Amino acid sequence: MRVLAILLTLMGISPGDDVRYFPSILYGHILVGSGSSRYNTTFVVTAKKDTRASLILFTDGGEPMKARFVDEAGNIANSGDSFDFWLSGGRPIQLRLELTEEDEKEQVVVKTGWATLRSLEEIDVTAIVRITTPDGKIITRHVLSSEKPPTG
C-alpha cells in the first residue's frame, strides 16, 4: 500500500484530483488445451461534468503494464501503460484492456496487476472482469467497484 501512495505522488496526482483504484485487473488468453479461454477487464467511466481522465496500469510489482485500450466499438484507442481521454458529462464510456500486438502472438499470456483512474472532476468507475471461451461464450463475470486509493 505504501508503494501505491509513493507512485501516486510521483505521478503528480494532487490532493484535489479524484482518484479511483482497482487492486486487481486481468487480461490475456490461454489458447492451448481443453481450458482455452480469454480474459479481459472493461472499465465503464462516467462523470457529471465534462472532464479529462487518465487510466494508468501497473503490474503486481508496481511497474508500468502495457496494454491496448479498446473502445466500445472495438477500435484500438491507444497502446501503452496509460490512456488519457475526455468524458462528456452524463455519457459513459467503455475501455477494454487487451494484449499488445507483441503479446498476442504468444499462446499463453495472462497479465495481472492494478489500475488507477484519475480526473480533476468526480468520476464513477466500474470494472467488469470477464473470462470467455475463444468463441466468446462467457465462463465467468465479476463486477468490481472502484476504491479510494490507500494513503500512507
| Confidence (pLDDT) at 46 | 93
Among residues 55, 46, 63, 64, the alpha carbon closest in space to that of 84 is found at 55
Average model confidence (pLDDT) for the chain? 85
* pLDDT surpassing 80 at residue 78: yes
What whole-number distance in Å separates Cα of residue 119 and Cα of residue 87?
Answer: 10
Which residue matches cell numbers 487492486? 23
Beta strands 138-145 and 76-80 are unpaired
**Cα separation, 30 vs 108, whole angstroms:** 4
Residue 142 zone, left/alpha/beta (φ > 0; ψ -120 to 50; rest): beta
Q: Per-residue pLDDT averaged across 115-142, rounded?
A: 91
Helices (H) then strands (E): counts for the chain: 2, 10
pLDDT for residue 36: 82
Is it the case that residue 99 has pLDDT exceeding 90? yes
- The DSSP bridge pattern shows strands 93-98 and 37-47 to be antiparallel
Cell 464510456, residue located: 93
Query: What pLDDT does 60 receive?
Result: 92
For residue 26, how many other CB atoms are within 10 A of its CB? 17
Helix/strand/coil for 42: strand
pLDDT of residue 13 exceeding 80: no
pTM of the model: 0.83
